[in-house]
Structure 1
Amino acid sequence: MLKTGLVFGDNMVIQTAKPFVIWGTATPETLIDISIQDKSSTCIANEQGEWKAVLSPLEVSAHEQLLIRSGQETLRYDNVAVGEVWLAGGQSNMEFYMRYEENYEEALKTVENPDIRFFDYPEVCYEGQYEDYDYSRFGYWRRCDAENLEYYSAVSYYFAKELQGCLNVPVGIIGCNWGGTPACAWMSEKSVKTAGFEWWSSYEQQLNNLDIDQYKAAYKHNIVNDRTNPFEGFNEVAMRVVPREQQLAIMETFGGIPTITCGPMDSWRPSGLYEYMLKKLAPYAIRGFLYYQGENDDPKAHLYECMMTALIQDWRELWHEELPFLLVQLPPFEAWLASTAEHYPVLRRAQDTVSKTIPNVWLASIGDVGMRFDIHPKNKRPVGQRLAYLAENHVYGKHEITSDAPEPVGFQCDGTGILITFRNVSQFELRGDTVKALSIYSGSKELSPDKYHVEVGNDYWKITGDLLLSEQLHLNFAETNYYELNLFNEAGIPLKPFAMDLT
């Protein structure tokens, strides 16, 4: 029987200006003919019935028909658009559905847009899982309308909405994410063993102590592992606002922090999602990647810089191209249910370093949208918009758009104070009287704020006061797990966390 890969279908968006790769299965050794616009290509299915064809780049279009023929069989996909396609990866904050987003009701009023489409890949992490459950809510391209909006990734929707309005072409987002997963789940086995061996070693130790038959039986009977309805069960708690007092009561009811076993069918095991989700989408032509993840790497935060470096390389190798990679820096957070932020400053520094050391990687700062006792910030509009600004500026060449967060360039001392200069800002906006989330240390002692004064200029700080007498000054801005900030550039993008020795 003639079939295509899951990502191909009605309402799909094909990446313009790049070769269009399409694949599927058919009767072995039969001829396959593919056509769209004025382009066509043929190939022959191999002995296993697998086929792959490549068509020349397509022109931007809102309404096309894709035909795939083999003998007497024909597949026809209607309402196909050609425009810009991005893959949105990560864990629950990328997965986070519009149904739970705080601006959802407002978004519904203007949702209708035939030039935005969304494909959410089914959450599958082992061979045969797709057949074990009913994934009918996933695995097809959804139109952007009131009926479908609740199923959209909120970050993806706001990204697509901003980008489509800017470029005036169809925009498609492919969701490939799974809540509660560390970076190692999205990496090749080789990369995990090289860049994050602690993750692999821990997994092997658990496997050695696992009764596989008992584990598999328990997995199949655990209703939590049925990922086919995103609006039932735990999600209805996890994605909504739950006061901390109620969270503690829930934990007490269920016996505190659960013991989590990691076996060969679990989503958070090393390389599982790389093999069973990400690889199934490659090499579908895309413009680049969006990535919001890191919360579950907190226990091994010291590895995260190397992990992300390897992950980006893995993803690019699957697509055979150095595609743009847009990261979201983790927002302020303290605790949610049994999850606590212990090493978020380390994770944020790793994300910042990766964005500065790997070509075509950029970082979105969202330090103003975090929630102290919720790991899932409900306001995803700034997140998606800021990712879109990065794409518009750095990928599409619209350099008049301010897209990057302010960050320090350097400092100098004179007889009157310490001058710190910043880039990505022409006019700081201080929302309040004093700079929040700021600490200055003399040696190991934190100085009282009444010992110094910070003057905020257009693109600089001038620090004056008794601190000038110290020979070992160190400054931290937003270098805690949770913080509240009030300093932005003229585009409303918050200053990134940073640390600086001032001597």
Structure 2
Amino acid sequence: MRILILLIAIFFMAPVDAFSNISLPSVFSDNMVLQRNSDVKIWGWAKPGEVVKISTTWGNDTFQTRVGKNGKWEIMLPTPNIRGPQQVSIIGYNTVVLKNVLLGEVWLVSGQSNMEWTAAAGIDNAEAAIADAENDQIRFFTVLNRTASCPQQDLDGSWVASKPETMKHFSAVAYFFGKKINKELGVPVGLINSSWGGTPAEVWMPSEVIENSKELTEAAKMLPKTEWGPRDPGLLYNAMIAPLVPFELAGVLWYQGESNTDNANHYEQIFSALINSWRQKWHKELPFFYAQIAPYEYGDNFSGVKVRDAQRRVLKMPKTGMVMTSDIGDIKDIHPRNKEDVGLRFAALALNDVYGRETAAHAPLVSEIKKNKNKLQITFSNAEKLSLDKENPATQFEVAGKDGNFKPVKFSIKNNTIELNVREIKDPVEIRYSWRNTGTSNIFNEAGLPASSFAEEIE
């Protein structure tokens, strides 16, 4: 008790200024990458009423603000497109100098184990990829795993340059994405990895999003407790995403869905809510690209393919894009080892949709189904030179009549559309394609990208 009283006395006797040093969130540190050609918000904490100033080596202007009563401050900092390492100085009662700062493209990557998966954990051609990872223009920030019951102001992590010893413990998908973007654009790339294996989407969004929706609340109750990762809504958003808001980003990469097979029928609503919630928190329509989960033996139901189809349906949201994995997966391994092609396909989406490069990035996507007597005509977008995989030519199209019984039907490819023969189906009302948890598409476009599994009603 005496020790406690002594500590309290020392606390109150100490000069106020001793507790007013400028401090910053961990994401603002040496070796960081700031989004170029933007107005970047820098924020932190200091003594209420104190004047905080920021200066940089890339400009002559000084920007300042006064710390609020809550001890928080923020300053908007314009960032040009400039090469080379820079410094950012934050000046107040004390001075904090951030060194070796680069201006480039910053992407947040998140999800569960397939995004978290590292070269050290085992990927194709790991040894060569690790040996080739020396690149000071690619920087990593790994958010350490933790949970919180309410939104936090800071998190654990630090910026490091890409080297063999850092790359092999970073998200492999993110690394291959960043390497390609750096090569094609010739600018630095900052990658913030906030992912945790075995987690459903619910833990990655604010808990109030779930609580304010009856459907999402009921869907969350379907998730079983497991030893793999947290299950309660909001726990990882609070600890691993909220402290990053509103760090300026070029966009988001997402690889998740395997842990939502228990409520697959609701995944379209769940995932859409997550995307909307993040965009609302960042106050901008962030490009949001995601990987469709790969075919895998989830059991004798359709839970896996239902998640894949839900992901396809989410593409109706603006500024979204989906990486196909059905042709580069492993139905015996929920963690396919080909992470490079996933990263490269993410990069193709970003290069095409964000950076204006004409890159073959999008897979065939069903856009219209027309009934014409005994035939169904399926029109696809991104359907340039549709072709059939000759090693897997069997039909994956099934059609059901009003009796609900699905039967395989023959098909032909004509003028970048697909025509189905439904002569033997009375009153066809529903069509599905590659509708198996382990289904691997056999229809590809000119870019070598497979069509997604889908199920649609016939009007």
- 2:345 pairs with 1:406: no
Matched to 1:65, the amino acid is: Q
Are the structure 2 counterparts of residues 78 and 301 from structure 1 closer, same or farther at C-alpha, using a change threshold of 3 Å?
same
Q: Work out which of the residue numbers 422, 425, 442 in structure 1 matches 2:380.
A: 422
The 8 Å contact of residues 330 and 336 in structure 2, kept in 1 or not, is answered as yes
Are the structure 2 counterparts of residues 439 and 427 from structure 1 closer, same or farther at C-alpha, using a change threshold of 3 Å?
closer
How far did residue 40 of structure 1 move? 3.0
- 2:145 pairs with 1:123: yes
- 2:77 pairs with 1:55: yes
Q: Distance in 2 between matches of 1:433 and 1:501?
A: 29
The 8 Å contact of residues 412 and 418 in structure 1, kept in 2 or not, is answered as yes
Render the CA deviation track for 1:433-485: whole Å, top value 9, x for unaligned: 5535704245344546xxx6433456233445xx4243334542221111233
Q: Distance in 2 between matches of 1:21 and 1:446?
A: 55
How far did residue 344 of structure 1 move? 1.8
The 8 Å contact of residues 119 and 130 in structure 2, kept in 1 or not, is answered as no
Q: Work out which of the residue numbers 332, 348, 357 in structure 2 matches 1:389.
A: 348
SS across alignment from 2:128: helix
How far did residue 47 of structure 1 move? 4.2
**TM-score normalized by structure 2?**
0.85
Q: Distance in 2 between matches of 1:35 and 1:267?
A: 41
How far did residue 87 of structure 1 move? 0.7
The 8 Å contact of residues 437 and 484 in structure 1, kept in 2 or not, is answered as no
Matched to 1:6, the amino acid is: S
Q: Distance in 2 between matches of 1:437 and 1:386?
A: 26
Identity in percent:
33
Q: Distance in 2 between matches of 1:176 and 1:373?
A: 26
Q: Work out which of the residue numbers 234, 239, 249 in structure 2 matches 1:271.
A: 234
Match of 1:92 in 2: 113
Matched to 1:321, the amino acid is: K
How far did residue 285 of structure 1 move? 0.4
Match of 2:412 in 1: 455
The 8 Å contact of residues 426 and 458 in structure 1, kept in 2 or not, is answered as no
Match of 1:497 in 2: 453
- 2:167 pairs with 1:149: yes
SS across alignment from 1:278: helix
Match of 1:14 in 2: 34
The 8 Å contact of residues 298 and 341 in structure 1, kept in 2 or not, is answered as no
Q: Distance in 2 between matches of 1:348 and 1:490?
A: 22
How far did residue 64 of structure 1 move? 0.9
Match of 2:99 in 1: 78
Match of 1:169 in 2: 187
Within 5 Å, which residues of 2 pair with 1:461-476?
A: 461-464=418-421, 467-473=422-428, 474-476=430-432
How far did residue 276 of structure 1 move? 1.4
Q: Work out which of the residue numbers 327, 352, 365 in structure 1 matches 2:312.
A: 352
SS across alignment from 1:3: coil
SS across alignment from 2:411: strand
Matched to 1:87, the amino acid is: L
How far did residue 396 of structure 1 move? 1.7
SS across alignment from 2:350: helix
The 8 Å contact of residues 439 and 446 in structure 1, kept in 2 or not, is answered as no
Within 5 Å, which residues of 2 pair with 1:474-493?
A: 474-493=430-449
Q: Work out which of the residue numbers 51, 57, 64 in structure 2 matches 1:42.
A: 64
Q: Distance in 1 between matches of 2:63 and 2:353?
A: 33
Q: Distance in 1 between matches of 2:446 and 2:198?
A: 35
Are the structure 2 counterparts of residues 26 and 411 from structure 1 closer, same or farther at C-alpha, using a change threshold of 3 Å?
closer
- Bigger shift: residues 281-290 or 369-378: 369-378
Matched to 1:363, the amino acid is: M
Are the structure 2 counterparts of residues 436 and 50 from structure 1 closer, same or farther at C-alpha, using a change threshold of 3 Å?
farther
The 8 Å contact of residues 399 and 425 in structure 2, kept in 1 or not, is answered as no
RMSD over aligned CA atoms reads: 2.9
| Larger RCO (alpha carbons 8 Å, 6+ apart) | 1
Matched to 2:115, the amino acid is: M
Are the structure 2 counterparts of residues 415 and 186 from structure 1 closer, same or farther at C-alpha, using a change threshold of 3 Å?
closer
Matched to 1:367, the amino acid is: S
The 8 Å contact of residues 23 and 52 in structure 1, kept in 2 or not, is answered as yes
Match of 2:87 in 1: 65
The 8 Å contact of residues 62 and 170 in structure 1, kept in 2 or not, is answered as no
Matched to 1:345, the amino acid is: V
Render the CA deviation track for 1:237-274: whole Å, top value 9, x for unaligned: xxxxxxxxxxxxxxxxxxxxx96489xxx732111111
Matched to 1:290, the amino acid is: L
Match of 1:280 in 2: 243
The 8 Å contact of residues 40 and 76 in structure 2, kept in 1 or not, is answered as yes
Are the structure 2 counterparts of residues 433 and 152 from structure 1 closer, same or farther at C-alpha, using a change threshold of 3 Å?
closer
Matched to 2:448, the amino acid is: G
How far did residue 23 of structure 1 move? 1.6
How far did residue 80 of structure 1 move? 0.9
Matched to 2:26, the amino acid is: L
Are the structure 2 counterparts of residues 303 and 442 from structure 1 closer, same or farther at C-alpha, using a change threshold of 3 Å?
closer
The 8 Å contact of residues 149 and 238 in structure 2, kept in 1 or not, is answered as no
Matched to 2:68, the amino acid is: N
**TM-score normalized by structure 1?**
0.78
Q: Distance in 2 between matches of 1:413 and 1:446?
A: 17
Q: Distance in 2 between matches of 1:484 and 1:261?
A: 30
Within 5 Å, which residues of 2 pair with 1:125-140?
A: 125-126=147-148, 139-140=157-158
Are the structure 2 counterparts of residues 3 and 329 from structure 1 closer, same or farther at C-alpha, using a change threshold of 3 Å?
same
Q: Distance in 2 between matches of 1:185 and 1:453?
A: 43
How far did residue 321 of structure 1 move? 0.9
Are the structure 2 counterparts of residues 113 and 319 from structure 1 closer, same or farther at C-alpha, using a change threshold of 3 Å?
same
Match of 1:158 in 2: 176
Q: Distance in 2 between matches of 1:373 and 1:66?
A: 49
How far did residue 152 of structure 1 move? 1.6
The 8 Å contact of residues 180 and 344 in structure 2, kept in 1 or not, is answered as yes
